[in-house]
């Protein structure tokens, strides 16, 4: 695990309440697999809030990386308000990322809300490995959607909104349509009810896609010390930070 004082390069609005921050971080940018995360101290003194916050790698570019985050509380409010040049302490890369297949495959990404963050990194790495990528993002309305221009042009990007203000109306897991059969691998990140719904959709489709999910639990430490992120799986209790955050969908749901 690397502890690094990184420099904030920029913060830009991605959608309503969502921001992308880029950091100059030569050591932390060398993450091993997409789906890993970093712990970010969201204050200068690192005392309030005391615990660092977990954020997925959203993009990695040389010795810089970005996170995509929703402003929901103290840490993210602080982060979004910092000017370029602010030095932020982080540690990582942590957790187990997704396992991409060796042979060229059809990769379907299913993201709910800010759960789309790690899937951008998955998409970029998957494209480099020669996979075809379709990314489906579900949000409450068009105001919370990532812009199509954020994606590499090789990615087919499909949006679903609960209010029907963009794309199909409903939940993203109910709109997989033909992509459910097209996909040879599926990776998802979002809120827990989304995973339950995805499991219901995929359970009987006759395909062996081995869907992998990136789970989020409150993570006080991020590296297996506090047991604050325990989750129940069909094989017993697991730590989301150390055993995950990647799990097989059907091991949990
Ligand atoms: C492995 C992992 C990866 C993550 N990756 C990302 C990421 O890429 N982008 C991102 O935005 N978040 C991500 N999160 C969640 C992120 O860590 C929390 O959003 C963050 O801790 C909130 O910190 P805060 O101090 O702003 O909010 P807090 O002050 O801790 O919380 C304030 C309030 O917001 C609520 N809250 C906290 N988190 C969320 C949430 N995610 N959604 C809605 N309400 C919430 C709390 O219940 C509380 O009521 C990830 C979490 C994990 C475990
Ligand atoms: S966050 Fe402390 S053990 Fe997982």
pLDDT in tens, 184-202: 999 999 999 999 999 999 9
Q: Is the pLDDT assigned to residue 227 strictly greater than 90?
A: yes
Nearest bound ligand to the CA of residue 92:
1
Contact (Cβ atoms closer than 8 angstroms) between residue 24 and residue 31 = no
Closest Cα to atom 36, ligand 1: which residue? Answer: 72
**Whose alpha carbon is nearest atom 23 of ligand 1?**
75
Atom number, ligand 2, closest to the C-alpha of residue 226: 2
Let me know: does 19 contact 68? Beta carbons within 8 Å: yes
Of 223, 225, 226, 227, nearest to 241 by C-alpha is 223
Q: What is the DSSP letter of 146?
A: P
Question: 185-189 and 106-112 as β-strands: parallel, antiparallel, unpaired?
Answer: parallel
Q: Which ligand is nearest to the CA of 52?
A: 1
Ligand nearest to the CA of 243: 2
CA of 58, closest atom in ligand 1: 8
Distance in Å, CA 51 to ligand 1 centroid: 12
Mean pLDDT of 102-109: 95
Q: Which atom of ligand 1 is nearest to the CA of 217?
A: 53
pLDDT score, position 8: 98
User: Rounded to an integer, what is the distance from CA 237 to the centroid of its chain?
Assistant: 22
Rounded to the nearest integer, the mean pLDDT of the chain is 95
Rg of the chain over Cα atoms, rounded to whole angstroms, equals 17
Report the SS3 class of residue 163: coil
What letters, b where the CB count within 10 A reaches 16 and e where it falls short, cover 200-230?
ebbeeeeeebebbbbbbeebbbbeeeeeebe
Identify which ligand lies nearest to the alpha carbon of 245: 1
**Same CATH fold, 106-214 and 2-94?**
no
**For strand 246-248 and strand 212-214, is the pairing parallel, antiparallel, or unpaired?**
antiparallel
The C-alpha atoms of residue 125 and residue 171 are separated, in whole angstroms, by: 26
pLDDT given at position 49: 82
Report the share of the chain in percent with pLDDT over 90: 92
Domain borders along the chain are 2-94, 106-214
Pocket residues for ligand 1 (CB within 6 Å)?
37, 42, 49, 53-56, 67-70, 72-76, 114, 117, 216-217, 219, 245
The CA-atom distances, in angstroms, between 180 and each of 67, 106, 133, 225 are 28, 10, 13, 38
Mean pLDDT of 110-132: 97
Question: Is 90 exceeded by the pLDDT of residue 102?
Answer: yes
Q: Which residues contact ligand 2 via a Cβ below 6 A? A: 219-222, 224-229, 239, 241
Q: Which of 14, 37, 43, 73 to mutate to test the pocket of ligand 1 (most atoms within 8 A of CB)?
A: 73
Window from 114-128, 137-151, 178-192, 201-215 with minimum mean pLDDT:
201-215
Query: Residue 207: pLDDT band by 50, 70, 90 thresholds?
Result: confident
Q: What is the 8-class DSSP label of residue 88? A: E
Taking the centre of ligand 1 as the mean of its atom positions, its distance from the CA of residue 72, in whole angstroms, is 7
| Euclidean distance between CA atoms 168 and 175, whole angstroms | 7
Specify whether the backbone of 130 is left (phi greater than 0), alpha (psi in -120 to 50) or beta.
left
Give Cα 133 distance to the centre of its chain. 16
For 21-66, the pLDDT digits (tens) are: 999 999 999 988 999 999 999 998 877 788 999 999 999 999 999 9
CATH fold group of domain 106-214:
Rossmann fold (3.40.50)
Report domain 2-94's class. Answer: mainly beta
The tens digit of pLDDT for each residue in 162-177 reads 999 999 999 999 999 8
DSSP state of 172: G
């Amino acid at each position: 695990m690397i502890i690094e004082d990184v420099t904030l390069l920029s913060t830009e609005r991605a959608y309503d309440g969502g921001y992308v921050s880029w950091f100059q971080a030569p050591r932390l940018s060398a993450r091993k697999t997409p789906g890993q995360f970093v712990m970010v101290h969201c204050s200068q003194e690192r005392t309030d809030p005391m615990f660092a916050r977990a954020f997925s790698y959203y993009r990695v570019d040389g010795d810089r990386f970005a996170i995509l985050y929703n402003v929901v509380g103290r840490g993210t409010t602080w982060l979004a308000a910092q000017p370029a040049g602010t030095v932020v302490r982080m540690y990582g890369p942590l957790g187990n990322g997704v396992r991409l297949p060796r042979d060229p495959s059809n990769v379907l990404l299913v993201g709910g809300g800010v759960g789309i963050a790690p899937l951008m990194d998955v998409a970029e790495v998957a494209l480099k490995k020669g996979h075809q990528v379709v990314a489906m993002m579900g949000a409450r309305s068009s105001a919370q959607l990532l812009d199509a221009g954020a994606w590499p042009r090789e990615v087919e990007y499909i949006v679903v909104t609960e209010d029907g203000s963009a794309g199909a109306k409903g939940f993203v897991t109910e709109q997989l349509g033909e992509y459910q059969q097209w996909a040879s691998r599926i990776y998802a990140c979002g809120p827990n009810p989304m995973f339950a719904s995805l499991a219901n959709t995929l359970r009987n489709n006759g395909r062996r896609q081995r869907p992998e999910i990136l789970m989020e639990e409150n993570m006080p430490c991020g590296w297996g010390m506090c047991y604050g992120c325990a989750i129940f799986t069909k094989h017993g209790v697991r730590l989301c930070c150390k055993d995950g955050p990647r799990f097989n969908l059907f091991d949990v749901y």
